[in-house]
Amino acid sequence: MLRFLILMLLGSVLPLHATTLLVFGDSLSAGYQLPAQQAWPALLQQYWQTQHPDLHIINASVSGETTQGGAQRLPALLKQHQPDWLMIELGANDGLRGLPVAATQANLQRMITQAQQQGAKVILTQIRLPPNYGRRYLNQFEPIFATLAEEYQLPLLPFFMEPIITDPGLLLADRLHPNAAGQQKIAQSLEPTLTALLTGKGQL
Backbone conformation region of residue 194, classed left if phi is above 0, alpha if psi is from -120 to 50, else beta: alpha
Q: Is the pLDDT of residue 37 over 80?
A: yes
Q: Is the pLDDT of residue 9 over 80?
A: no
Mean pLDDT, to the nearest integer, of 45-68? 97
pLDDT of residue 4: 37
* Structural domains present in the chain: 17-198 (3.40.50.1110)
Catalytic residue among 26, 61, 94, 177: 177
Q: Radius of gyration over alpha carbons of the chain, in Å? A: 19
Mean pLDDT, to the nearest integer, of 11-25? 73
Name the residue among 40, 36, 39, 97 with its Cα closest to residue 68: 97
Phi/psi for 110 (5° steps) reads -60, -45
pTM: 0.89
pLDDT of residue 134: 87
27 is catalytic: yes
> pLDDT tens across 60-111, in order?
999 999 999 999 999 999 999 999 999 999 999 999 999 999 999 999 999 9
pLDDT of residue 3: 44
Task: Judge whether 186 and 164 are in contact, CB under 8 Å.
Answer: yes
174 is catalytic: yes
Summary mean pLDDT of the chain:
91
User: How far is residue 10's CA from residue 161's CA, in Å, rounded to a whole number?
Assistant: 45
pLDDT of residue 11: 39
Catalytic residue among 27, 56, 61, 94: 27
User: How far is residue 137's CA from residue 128's CA, in Å, rounded to a whole number?
Assistant: 11
